[in-house]
Structure formats: structure tokens, C-alpha cells
Structure 1
Amino acid sequence: MSQSNIDLPARLLLNLAPWRNAKAWHIAFSGGLDSTVLLHLLAKLAKTESLPPLSAIHVHHGLQSVADAWPDHCRSVCDALQVPLHVSRVQVQPGASLERAARDARYAAFVEVTRANEVLLTGQHRDDQAETLLFRLLRGAGVRGLSGMPRQRRLGKGYLLRPLLDATRADLEAYAAEHQLSWIEDPSNLNQHFSRNYLRHQVLPVLTARWPQAIASMARSAGHMGEAQGLLGELAQIDLSQASTPGDFDWLGLPSLELAPLEKLSDARQRNALSHWLEPLTNLPDRDHWSGWEDLRDATGDARPIWRLAEGELHRAGGRVWWLSGAWLRPPPAVGAWPDPALPRVLPDNGVLALTGQMPDGPLQIRYREGGEVMDLPGRGHRDLKRLLNESAVPLFVRGRLPLLYKGQQLLAVANLPGLDGSTADGWKLCWQPPSEDQGLS
């Protein structure tokens, strides 16, 4: 028995010390070796230590018939350890990567059970970290990817923790043998069609035969990369603080940055700052697909550049770059009559509209711009709406969804634009709360 195996419970407690005040600890319990050891360790520690309430979650993917027996196995293990078990049955969406689709379904189930001030514990260990590093290296990952699996990260409203990352698979096997634990052997783990299994069974044994410390060295490199990524994050925050200036259209509620401070940075610092900013919003492109950013950045003033990404689009307007997703990418449906202007009006796919102050005489209608609109302004006469929008520097992507208030064929007001949004003399104003849901923010 190795010295490291003897210290496994103590090391686990040390790694989890900052999280002892969490409301609950959920254990991701597949029934395999790693999660079985983690569950057993925590159940034993709970008898002598004051720990948050423990529970286990088993995700049943339904991808292979043999897996139908796994929930019963997990239930018997949890019953013996007196740990409550939740079984979550998920649908794995078909796609190019079955591994990724299953992972996405699994983590969606984890998010569902992990509430605020709760943590989900998973059993990944140092060998898994080495596999992750090697797998990402072969895919050409950057510093963020090569930092491997983080020890902790946000998960929905709670956190995901990997408290066994400094233990080896051999440590876990020795603990399981000592305590005569039984676990599930997933047949798919032998299928070397899956890249990680190929690395585990074919590549890493060759590496460790030549360099016995290879796994420890790779895990250490992942730690160095994690530290480097932290420094890049701090640099990004410095650069983003220069670009996160207030603008005239902050009321849109859209993420935006001032372009000029970004343009002063080197290309590498631009990519670093934007990656940091975009990471919570969308999947990021690899290094070879940043030409969309360069086209947007370098476009002439009268161009309408758009950089399309996985979960939305980056637009350029008014000296700023804007993140659009969800409802902002769909033209709002027509609205029509406003029967009771005293009540706020929900606009399909376009937020909420309200009139404040003395109500104008009706009947009133809500429309969107089609072109050719004219507005009669006190002291200025008839003015083209297009020119008025240009004078107000309204971003082009907003113009087609700005609510317009009509009485018959007369354009009375344009929501939210000072001087155009109502009547000072009559004491009313048209106020628009743009769409805030389905923005793609996480």
C-alpha cells in the first residue's frame, strides 16, 4: 500500500476544506471505480466529520443495454452507505461526437440538481488530467485548453469540484482493493474508437514505460498552464476595463465594448481580451478562425460588418462592438393596435412598451420601421425618420425593432429617443424595455 493511498481521506478533507460550509455536497456517481471510491471516502468521513449533507446523482444515458442495470447497482451501493441517490434519465442528442453529446446531457443534469451554495463533486484523478492535456494538445488547444480540467468552476448556480485531481488511478485502485469495493466496468471504456480510450490504452502506457513520471509531469504542466491562463485573465481584465466605457445606448442592455481602446492593443492582446469577454457568451473559434474579428475591426465606416459565432453575432456600430443573440437575431413580429395604452404592452420577441404621463388621444397603433416614415416635429416641420435616426446615431441593428407609436397615419413618437419619444407640451413619453431574455448570457 502506497503512502499516498494511506493519506487519501486526509488529502480529500484538505481539498474540500474551503467548501465545508456549503449547503450540500452532491456526488456524481456513475458506479465506476473513481466515483465509487469518492462516494465511499465521503460516506466514511461523514461519520466522524461535520460535513454538509451528502447525496449522489446517477445519470442514465440509455446508450447501451447493459447500462439499464447500473441504476440498481448504484442504488444498492448508496443504500449500504446510507447516502440518498437521485437517478436522472437523459436524452443524448445525436451528433458528430457521441462523447461530447453524452457529456453535455450529463452536465445539464448536474446543473439541474446543483443549487446556489451547493457543490457537485466528481471523481476525476491525475491520470484523467494527463489524458485531457494530451487530448487537447493533439487538437491544437491554446493555454486555456492546456490548463486541463480546473479543480473548481461554476456549475449553474453552484460549483463543480474535482477533489481527487492530485490522486492517481493506482491510488484509487489500492483504496478500492483495501475496502473490498465493487464497481461497474463500462464496456465502452474499452472501445478504442473513442479518442480518450485510445490515449488511455495505447498511448499513455507507451509513454509511461519510457518515462515513468510522464503522468505526474503532464499534470504539473497543466498546473503551469492554469497559472498562465490566470495571468492572461488578469491582463484581459485590465484591457477590458479600458474598453468597458459607458455609451449612449447602454439602455439596450446588450454587452458592448468601445472599439478604439481595443484597436490600440496588439493582435494577440485583442484576441485575449475578446476571448475572455466572449467566453461566457459563446463557444470560441480556434486561432485559425479569427479573421471574422479582423474584418469587423478593419471595416470602413459605412460598412455593416458582422462576425457570426456559434451562439450569436458581434456587430459594429457607433464606435463600439455589440454582442447580439437570441431574440435580437430575429425580426420582431408585427404588433398593431394598442387597445389600452394605460397598460404596458408586451411586444412579441421585443420586450415591453409603456406610456407614461398624460395619455395621448387614441386610437393608437404600434409599428416598426419599413422605410419612408416622416415625423412632424414642433419648430422643425416634417422630417424623415431615417435622418432623425442618423442624427441620434442609433445603431443599425436597433432601427428595425424600435417601437413607433402611430395615431392613424401620423407618427407620434419613437421609443426611448430624446426629443422623439413623446410630447413635452402634452406631458407623455413612450418608454421601451428591450428584450432581455434569451440573450445567451451564462
Structure 2
Amino acid sequence: MIQNIIENYKNKLFLVAYSGGMDSTVLLHQLIKIKQKNRQISVRAIHINHNIHTNSTKWKVHCITFCKTYNIPLIVEEIDINITNNIEEQLRIRRYNLIYKHLLNDEILLTGHHLNDQCETFFLSLKRGSGPTGLSAMSVETSFGKTKIIRPFLNQTKKELKTWANLNNLTWIEDATNFNINYDRNFIRHKILPILEKKWPFFLKNCFRTTKICNEETILKNIFLKEKIQKFIRFDEALNIKNFKNFQEEICKALIRYWISLKNIKIPSYKNIQRIYNEIIHNQENINLKIIIQKNEIRCYKKSLYFIKIKKNIQNMILFWHNTNYKLILPNNLGYIIKNNKKGINIPAPQNNELINIRFQYTGKILILGKKKQRNIKKIWQEYNIPPWLRNQTPLLFYNDELVSALGVFVVKKIIKNIDESNKNEWNISWISSIPFNYDNNFNFN
């Protein structure tokens, strides 16, 4: 299997996730033997020391010694974090982030996951009530940022790998925590799978076949959804659900789930997807629905679903722009404000004694340029189709305590009328941001 992988890729750069355990030791040793015959390939290893075991330092030294013996470059990274909840998942995330940081361009990550790992993952997904996507467990090949993760042992049992290791007189680390059945994976490994294998010796192979079928079904479904969803994704990446009420429930939920998957986050639970359907698509009443998914929100506005990254509340923040020759950096990655000569909003310049400041909240009635009467600012936001979560993220320009403009949206008419036409002093300012505004009139705020 490893030989086939090497032959299939032109850029023969490989990084092995090397824990020092039996699986990764067999993987690394097989690559070393192949490299001895094929000098074109490049092999490196990376060891992540989790620092959660008393023998962590010994294991690190073992990995360093093994790689030094075979002249394999080894990267060692330390994880020193205090985790109390969901330890396995949190460590996995940190581990893969560290590994990705060290991957070279065109370098492929290889891991020692085997058939037993696959079945354990399948049962964990079954426990969580996952659908076909979750029950697909791990794939032999997975995209990993700009490169790939390949698991060459996924159709081989742990017993087969151990036989190979013993034949080659390999030594490896035995982690005692792998026998702690308080961890879900270990419980499945030591209490569930042995019983099933004893009753049905072919169980692991059939389990792998099931994951493969689920994976194929998921791929086919995603091909269909990828084509269909293009009709509903707006220019600002929102999901237009105006006509979803005419679709079958299963299609609606599949489209919503696929749309969220495009955000590269963990797919929300079945319960949350069902809630979106029941409270928005089916009833079309709960327009203020907000579902938290990790550090994001799913929001509904004007018959569309929006995927919003949760930002810090800055409603009470005031930023003073003392020197307009320099750009003013805004919080929450909202970009910056600059003064320029020709582009941007043309407005009266402040008087010498006026303090230029930026705020993110205003209440009350105002008269804006192009209108004949005052209106509540909430109505103005609605007229310009500014969704609620952007209203307190839009920079409001003030001279002292007087509102001048919501940058990129409107200019207050009062400030224009107060300027003596014979001594008119104007300036142009621009708000430079990547926020996709939802204007029907395509207002250009740059």
C-alpha cells in the first residue's frame, strides 16, 4: 500500500505522524526500508509530546533515538495545556494544528491508523447518532489544507501490523492510558470489539466495508447537493431559503447541512438542523432565530440564512481619530478608515475644535441625505437592508457628539446644512473592509 502511494505522487515528500507507538513505528520503518531502495523520496517525522503522562519525556527520547538511528529528520512539538473537558478531541485539534504548521509545500502527511481504529471511530459515530457522513469514519485519503492526509494501513488489522513489527524486531512505546476504559475509544477497543470479533471473526472487515459504502453514498449525495445548491447561494454567501417551503423536508435539511459544511467547521447536530427547518423553513415565523455553532451563529434575515462569526461586543466603544494622516484601525477585524482625495464618501470636514471619533451604536431619529423627513435609525438600517448583526459593527462617524455618517451607508443631512456654502471645506474618507453588505442598490462604500 505504501509503495503504491509513493508511485502515485510525483512530489515524493512525506511527513510521518510518529507517536512512537506500534502503528506509527511500523509505518515509519516501512518508509525507511523503501527509502533505502528509492533515494528520490524524502521522509521526515513529527512527534507531538502531549505532556499528560509521567513517561512523556521518555517517549520523546525514544522517538528521537529511533529517528537518529535511521537518519530521519524529526520535529518535536510540545503541548502544554490544561484541559478538563473533551480531552481527546481538544488534543487532537491541537495536534493537527501543530502538524499542519510544519508541513512543507506538496508534502503529504502519513498516519498509522488501521482497521481497528476505523471500527472504533465507526462505533463512536454510532454512539453520537451520526448519519452516513459520520459513519464513513476515516478515509484512506483526506484533504488537509493545501495538502493531504493518507492512511495506508486503514484496511489492515492491528494484529497484522504487530506481526510485521515482531518480524522486524521493532521496539515501540506502550502507553498504559490506552487501557483506561474510562475513555470511550478504549472502552470500545477492549470491551466491545473483542466480543464481536470472537463471535464473528470477519466483523472488522465488514465494518470497514460499511464505512466505505457510507463514504460512497456521502460522495454521491454531495455531488448532487453541490450542483443544486448553486441556485440558492447568494453573492454574500448567504443561503436563499425563499422557496424552501416548496421542497421536501429531507432536501431542505440536506441543503442546509451542505451549506454549513462549506464553512469548514464541524457539522452541527441533527437536532440543530431540525430546529432550523422547523422554526424557519416550516413555520417562517422565527426571524430572530440564532443558533450557536462553535464560535459562529446561524442567523435568518430577509428569507436568507447567514453564517456569522461571533464578534466581540463593541457597542460602547469610542475610537478617537486624532491624526487623519494615518489610517484608523477598527476592532473585530472590521478593516480600517482612511482619508483620501478622490475616493470614498465626500462630506464636510470637521472644524478645528471638533474631535473626530468613531462609534458603533446610535439610537433616535435622524434626517439623512436624500430624504425629506426624520426617521428612526432602525428604519434606515432596514431600508438599506443592513442585517441586525452588522448594525453594531458598522463604523459611525461623529464630530464631537454629533453623528455625521454611517460609513458606507448614509450621510446625515443636518451636517451638510450647517456648512457655510461660501466657505465650504470638504474631505473624502473611506472605510476599507471585506464585509459583504446586502444592498439592493449596490451602494459602493470604498
Q: TM-score with structure 1 length normalisation?
A: 0.85
Q: Tell me: CA distance 1:386–1:62, structure 2 relative to 1, closer, same or farther (3 Å).
A: closer
Q: Does 1:215 align with 2:204?
A: yes
Decide whether aligned partners of structure 1 residues 301 and 372 sit closer, same or farther in structure 2, where only a CA change above 3 A counts.
farther
Mapped to 2, the partners of 1:336 and 1:299 lie a distance apart of 42
Aligned to 1:385: 377
Give, in whole Å, the separation in 1 of the partners of 2:336 and 2:199. Answer: 66
For residues 318 and 70 of structure 1, what CA distance do their matches in structure 2 show? 57
Q: 1:163 corresponds to which residue?
A: 152
Q: Which moved more, 1:92-101 or 1:236-245?
A: 92-101
Q: d(CA) in 1 for partners of 2:292 and 2:81?
A: 27
Residue aligned with 2:36, SS: coil
Within the candidate set 268, 273, 290, 2:273 is matched to 290
Equivalent residues of 1:296, 1:307 under 8 A apart: no
1:15 matches 2:5? yes
The alpha carbon displacement at 1:31 in A equals 1.0
- The code of the aligned residue for 1:416 comes to G
Task: Name 2:366's counterpart in structure 1.
Answer: 374
Secondary structure, counterpart of 1:120 in structure 2: strand
Q: Report the counterpart of residue 257 of structure 2 in structure 1.
A: 275
- Does the C-alpha gap of structure 1 residues 176 and 314 become closer, same or farther in structure 2, counting only changes over 3 Å? same
- The structural deviation recorded for 1:397 is 1.7
- 2:222 is equivalent to residue 233 of structure 1: yes
SS of alignment partner, residue 46 of structure 1: helix
The one-letter code matched in structure 2 to 1:67 is S
Which residue of structure 1 lines up, in the alignment, with residue 394 of structure 2? 402
1:242 aligns with 2:231: yes
2:439 counterpart residue number: none
Pairwise CA distance, 1:217 = 0.9
Q: Does 2:70 align with 1:88?
A: no
Instruction: State the distance in 2 between where 1:262 and 1:427 align.
Output: 49
1:315 to 295, 299, 309: 299
In 2: Cα distance, 1:66 partner to 1:117 partner: 34
RMSD: 2.8
Deviations along 1:18-49, one digit per CA (max 9) or x if unpaired, are 33415x31111111111111101111111222
Letter paired with 1:347:
L
- Pick from 153, 158, 161 the counterpart of residue 172 of structure 1: 161
Q: Does 1:361 align with 2:349?
A: yes
CA shift in 2, pair 1:130/1:16, >3 Å: farther
Q: Which residue of 2 aligns with 1:304?
A: 288
Contact 1:344 1:352 in 2 (8 A): yes
C-alpha separation between the residues in 1 aligned to 2:90 and 2:373?
60
Give SS of 1:105's match. Answer: helix
CA distance in 1, matches of 2:114, 2:310: 38
Q: Which residue of 1 aligns with 2:188?
A: 199
Q: Does structure 2 conserve the Cα–Cα contact (< 8 Å) formed by 1:129 and 1:148?
A: yes
Q: Which one of the candidate residues 93, 96, 103 is aligned to 2:92?
A: 103
What is the distance in 2 between the residues matched to 1:385 and 1:281?
Answer: 36
Do 2:21 and 2:172's aligned partners in 1 also have CA atoms closer than 8 Å? yes
Residue among 173, 177, 180 paired with 1:188 = 177
Which one of 297, 301, 313 corresponds to residue 330 of structure 1?
Answer: 313
Question: 2: distance between equivalents of 1:239 and 1:93?
Answer: 44
Please list the CA deviations of residues 94-139 of structure 1 after superposition, one character each: whole Å capped at 9, or x if unmatched: 2333332332332232222224422211001122212222232233
Unaligned runs of 5+ in 2: 417-423, 436-446
Which one-letter code corresponds to 1:46 in the other structure?
Answer: K
Partner in structure 1 of residue 327 of structure 2? 344
Q: In structure 2, what is the Cα distance between the partners aligned to 1:420 and 1:258?
A: 32
Q: CA deviation at 1:409?
A: 5.1
Distance (Å, rounded) in 1 between the aligned partners of 2:348 and 2:147 = 49
Q: Please say if 1:265 is aligned against 2:247.
A: yes
User: Could you tell me which residue of structure 2 aligns to residue 3 of structure 1?
Assistant: none
Alignment partner, residue 407 of structure 2: 415
Following superposition, the deviation at residue 263 of structure 1 comes to 3.8
TM normalised by structure 2 equals 0.84
Would the alpha carbon gap of residues 306 and 375 (structure 1) be closer, same or farther in structure 2, given more than 3 Å must change?
same
Contact 2:339 2:429 in 1 (8 A): yes
For residues 302 and 410 of structure 1, the distance between their equivalents in structure 2, rounded to whole angstroms, comes to: 36
CA contact (8 A) 1:375 1:385 kept: no
Which 10-residue stretch deviates more, 111-120 or 72-81? 111-120
63-72 or 293-302: bigger deviation: 293-302
Decide whether aligned partners of structure 1 residues 137 and 262 sit closer, same or farther in structure 2, where only a CA change above 3 A counts.
same
Q: Distance in 1 between matches of 2:252 and 2:136?
A: 21
Task: Using the TM superposition, name which of 107-116 and 161-170 deviates more.
Answer: 107-116
Given the alignment of the two structures, is residue 76 of structure 1 paired with residue 65 of structure 2, yes or no? yes
Identity among equivalent pairs (%) = 24
Secondary structure of the residue aligned to 1:260 is coil
Show the counterpart of 2:24. 35
Q: CA deviation at 1:210?
A: 2.2
Unaligned runs of 5+ in 1: 1-10, 437-442
CA distance, structure 1, for counterparts of residue 18 and residue 370 of structure 2: 70
